[in-house]
C-alpha cells in the first residue's frame, strides 16, 4: 500500500501565496501562545527563529529588544507579511522621496508586494515580538541608505542578515 504524504506547507498546490494569504498565515502562527518561550526575554540583541520553511514559504519569529532596528532593505523577489505579537514596531517606508511612518501594535500586521522597501524598529520600552512570512523564501535582500537623492542600494546580503 502506498502511503500518502502528510499535507505540509510545501505540498503541491500550496506554492502560490498572495500578500493577503501571507498575512492570514502570519496571524495563524502569531496566535501560538508558545512563541514567547522560543526567545530569551533578557536578550539585548534582535534575534530570529525560523518557525517553518520550504522553497515556497518561510516563517520567522523575530524578537526586538527596546531600541533595536534593522537597516532599510527589500525582500528580493518575495512578497511578505508580518504580524506583531507583543510590543510595538515602527515601520518606515518611502514614497516619492517622502518617508512614511506606520506604527503597529500587538495584534496588528500588514502584508506587502514585491519590491517593498522598509525599515523596522522597536521604539518603545520592552521587547517586541513579531512573525514574518515570505513567499517564496528569502534568498537575498538588498540594503539601502538614505541619501540626499533618496534611497540608494548599498549591499546585497544573504537573507539572514536583514528582515
Ligand atoms: Fe523586511
Rounded distance, CA 127 to CA 123, Å? 10
pLDDT digits (tens, 9 = 90+) for 90-112: 999 998 888 999 999 999 999 99
Report how far ligand 1's centroid is from the alpha carbon of 162 (Å): 7
pLDDT at 115 (0 to 100): 87
Name every residue whose Cβ is closer than 8 Å to that of residue 84 and which is 6 or more positions away in sequence: 30, 104, 105, 106, 107, 108, 109, 128, 129, 130
Report how far ligand 1's centroid is from the alpha carbon of 71 (Å): 9
The answer to whether the CB of 98 falls within 8 A of the CB of 150 is no
- Mean pLDDT computed over 18-38: 97
Can you read off the three cell numbers belonging to residue 17? Answer: 501565496
Task: Answer yes or no: is 13 within a domain.
Answer: no
Task: Answer yes or no: is 157 within a domain.
Answer: yes
Can you read off the three cell numbers belonging to residue 14? Answer: 500550496
Beta strand 128-135 with 119-121: parallel, antiparallel or unpaired?
unpaired
Cβ-in-10-Å burial (0-12, 13-18, 19+) of 71 comes to: middle
pLDDT digits (tens, 9 = 90+) for 100-150: 999 999 999 999 999 899 999 999 999 999 999 999 999 888 999 988 888
Rounded distance, CA 57 to CA 26, Å? 11
Task: Answer yes or no: is 73 within a domain.
Answer: yes
User: Which range of residues forms the domain containing residue 103?
Assistant: 49-161
CA distances from 135 to 48, 116, 117, 121, 140 (A): 17, 13, 16, 22, 13
The more confidently predicted of residues 163 and 161 is 163
Task: Answer yes or no: is 29 within a domain.
Answer: no
- Mean pLDDT computed over 143-160: 82
Task: Answer yes or no: is 123 within a domain.
Answer: yes
Number of structural domains found in the chain: 1
pLDDT at 14 (0 to 100): 52
Can you read off the three cell numbers belonging to residue 131? Answer: 512573525
pLDDT at 25 (0 to 100): 97
Rounded distance, CA 30 to CA 15, Å? 21
Report how far ligand 1's centroid is from the alpha carbon of 74 (Å): 6
Report how far ligand 1's centroid is from the alpha carbon of 3 (Å): 39
pLDDT at 163 (0 to 100): 58
Report how far ligand 1's centroid is from the alpha carbon of 112 (Å): 9
Report how far ligand 1's centroid is from the alpha carbon of 163 (Å): 4
Task: Answer yes or no: is 103 within a domain.
Answer: yes
Q: pTM value?
A: 0.86
Report how far ligand 1's centroid is from the alpha carbon of 42 (Å): 24
Beta strand 58-64 with 47-53: parallel, antiparallel or unpaired?
antiparallel
CATH number at residue 154: 2.60.120.10
Chain-wide mean pLDDT for the chain?
A: 89
Task: Answer yes or no: is 28 within a domain.
Answer: no
Report how far ligand 1's centroid is from the alpha carbon of 117 (Å): 7
Report how far ligand 1's centroid is from the alpha carbon of 73 (Å): 6
- Mean pLDDT computed over 2-7: 51
Report how far ligand 1's centroid is from the alpha carbon of 141 (Å): 9
Amino acid at each position: 500500500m502506498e502511503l500518502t504524504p502528510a499535507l505540509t506547507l510545501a505540498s503541491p498546490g500550496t506554492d502560490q501565496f498572495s500578500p493577503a494569504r501571507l498575512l492570514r498565515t502570519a496571524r495563524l502562527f502569531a496566535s501560538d501562545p508558545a512563541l514567547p518561550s522560543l526567545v530569551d526575554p533578557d536578550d539585548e540583541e534582535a534575534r530570529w527563529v525560523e518557525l517553518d520553511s520550504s522553497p515556497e514559504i518561510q516563517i520567522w519569529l523575530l524578537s526586538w529588544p527596546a531600541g533595536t532596528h534593522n537597516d532599510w532593505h527589500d525582500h528580493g523577489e518575495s512578497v511578505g507579511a508580518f504580524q506583531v505579537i507583543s510590543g510595538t514596531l515602527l515601520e518606515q517606508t518611502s514614497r516619492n522621496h517622502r518617508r512614511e511612518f506606520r506604527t503597529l501594535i500587538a495584534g496588528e500586521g500588514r502584508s506587502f508586494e514585491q519590491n517593498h522597501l522598509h525599515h523596522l524598529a522597536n521604539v518603545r520600552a520592552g521587547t517586541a515580538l513579531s512573525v514574518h512570512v515570505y513567499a517564496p523564501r528569502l534568498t537575498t535582500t538588498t540594503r539601502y541608505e538614505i541619501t540626499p537623492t533618496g534611497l540608494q542600494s548599498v549591499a546585497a546580503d544573504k537573507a539572514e542578515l536583514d528582515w
